[in-house]
Amino acid sequence: MSPVASGGLFLLQFFAGLVTFVLLLRFLMRATRVDWRHPIVGFVAKVTNPICRPFGMLFKHIGQWDWTALSAAFVVEVLFVGLIGFLTGRDFGLMTILLVSFTEIANQLLDLVFWLIVIQAVLSWVSPGYNPNTVLFNQMVAPILRPFQKIIPPISGIDLSPLAVLVAIQLTQIVLLRPIVGIAQGLVG
């Protein structure tokens, strides 16, 4: 592959990944019920509204789940994987495109949660006072940590539940998602 083609694929991957990331961030912000008056949340909403609006006609807003953002992210991934197959001259087939897109969305969502927990943990040590950005991270991470905190109580005032969540995320990616990627790779013609 020529350097120009490699550069083009990189840019395509970068922009598709960025759009997917912002859509998944919107999904997670809605799912964790963050304060929508926060400037970062407002930015994410304004940037993603044009992409999510058409999907809003297909999906009703059900509770705290923003199915428009999740379905838009999935469609972006389907288009990206299909385009990569076309540009590289490989015949992926519909099932491969759907499996790869599903696992990519799941992996990106789990990676997003992973890094949000890491950032929130670091911020809790570095900036223990009030900070609106720290509050945003706390709002996004608290509902995810809560079930683990019920099982793992703090030890000497140190909350180990983030560590348990990080291990659970990694295990999910290794045990559940990697085999699906292997199946999808086996389907490539």
pLDDT tens, residue by residue, 149-183 = 999 988 888 889 999 999 999 999 999 998 988 88
Buried b (16+ CB within 10 A) or exposed e, 150-186: eebeeeeeebebbebbbeebeeebeeebeeebeebee
Q: What is the share, in percent, of the chain residues with pLDDT greater than 90?
A: 54
Domain of 73 in residue numbering reads as 3-187
Residue 41 half-sphere exposure toward CB, CA atoms < 13 A: 19
Please give the model's pTM, rounded to 2 decimal places. 0.88
Q: How many domains does the chain have?
A: 1
* CA 6, chain centre distance (Å): 25
